[in-house]
Each structure stands twice: as C-alpha cells, then as structure tokens.
Amino acid sequence: MSEQLTLAIDDRTDPRDTKGGDDMTNRTASKVIHGDCLQLLMGGVERMTYHGLMPVVVTDPPFNIGYHYDGYKDNMPETEYYEWIAEITTLTSSVVVLYPESLHKLSMAKQEAPERVVSWVYNSNTAKQHRDIAFYGIKPDFNRVKQPYKNPNDKRIKARIAQGKGARLYDWWEINQVKNTSVEKTAHPCQMPVDVMKRVIGILPDGIGVIDPFCGSGTTGVACKQLGIPFEGYDINENYCEIARSRIEEATA
C-alpha cells in the first residue's frame, strides 16, 4: 500500500486532519490522492462535512468500453460495473457524466432518478455525438451561469446586453471535446473539457465541496480552482495523479 493511500485512510479517523492537501476552509483548497476511490471517498466526505461544506461527487467515470487506461482494465462485467458506480455516487449528492444509455442503467442500479439532465453535444468522428450529465440528489440553478443571448438583435435583448445581462444556461451544451491535437491535451486518454466542468460546478448551490473519485487528468479540480470551490480527487494511477496535481497548481482563478 502506498504512503499516500495509508495517509488518506488514516485521515478518516479525524476529518480535521488535512495531510496531503490544503485546509478545506480555504475556498481554493485542493488535494489529489493516489488510491482506490472506494477506500478514500468516506474520508473526503467526512473532511468536507466537518468544515461546513456540502460534499458533492462530480465525476466523468470510466465508460466500461475498453478504453486504454494505465493501471485499470475498462471491461468489468456490466452488472458489476453499474453496481460499482452506483455505490460510489450514492454516498452523497452526485453529478455523473456518461453516455445516455449508460446513465439510464446507472439510475436503475442506484434506484434513483436524476433531478435534472443536461446534454453535452460535440462534433466527433465517432458514432456517439453526445453525453448526458445527470444531477442526482441536487438541483442545479441554470441562472447561476450566463451565456450570450441567441437573438442579440432583438430590441429588448439589446437593452439587456447593454445592462451587462446574459441568458441563463440551457440544458443543451455545445462544447468541443479535448482532442489529441488540442493545446491542453495531456497523457490521459479521456480528458474532459474544462468548460463543461465549469458549467456543471457553476450551476450547483453555494457552500459545496467537490469530490471526483475518478480524477484522471484533473479537469474537475481545475474547474473548481478557477471557481473558488474546495476540491478533493482520487485516482488509482499515480501518473494521472501527478498530471492532475500539476494542472490544478498551474490553474488560475
């Protein structure tokens, strides 16, 4: 067992202990821990709760379709996979990014319907052109994040734009994927766009702390740092943890 994983499990006995990361009372606090998320998740929930935060799991989990991750085989038996993701996302409120069919199956495994669902769409060379984002046990407020109006030449809309106003987010987000040719691309094989996670986290209530059990390249943590939200992430692969730590450290608010 690695030293980091031992520290993280020990932290569960005292949520005030902030070994391996910043004090969760710091609004830009973040920590990335190497280890199994099932063993680490309760400790993160307890730490955030102790510091007066509402813990929310926000994650883009493995798809179970044979992606080539280092240190993890993405091909579990289907029933086992959905039971695993359900266990991880049922301990507290959660936001999960998956393909639509997978989200339906996850909801069945959780025995819980999401409060809201957003579609994230993009152009790609694959048959699948969108993923859905499900909000379980927490209601997003689409007025918290603004976007340009679709009819900027309308007289009334021009007046609102002049006042510095914007349109509320819709439930249909057109945001490009991070591709191999993207400037921000890392060594992680399935990197999320920061703009998607910033929208997800931006429409959540005040007073939250975010936990990503499948931290990967650290996109959720980058979005949290830019928005001033405390963050804790886990990954089974130490190299991915280092990528995430570096990206979060370099991110600016």
- Listed in sequence order, the DSSP H helices in the chain are 3-11, 37-50, 78-90, 100-110, 155-162, 194-202, 219-227, 238-250
Q: What is the pLDDT of residues 232-246, one digit of tens each?
A: 999 999 999 999 999
Q: What is the mean pLDDT of residues 190-195?
A: 84
Residue 9's pLDDT band (boundaries 50, 70, 90)? very low
- Per-residue HEC secondary structure of 138-166 comes to CCCCHHHCEECCCCCCCHHHHHHHHCCCC
Q: What is the pLDDT of residues 42-92, one digit of tens each?
A: 999 999 999 999 999 999 999 887 666 666 777 889 999 999 999 999 999
The CATH architecture assigned to 3-250 reads: 3-Layer(aba) Sandwich (3.40)
Domain locations in the chain? Answer: 3-250
Within its chain, how far is the Cα of 22 from the centroid?
Answer: 19
Indicate the SS3 state at residue 224: helix
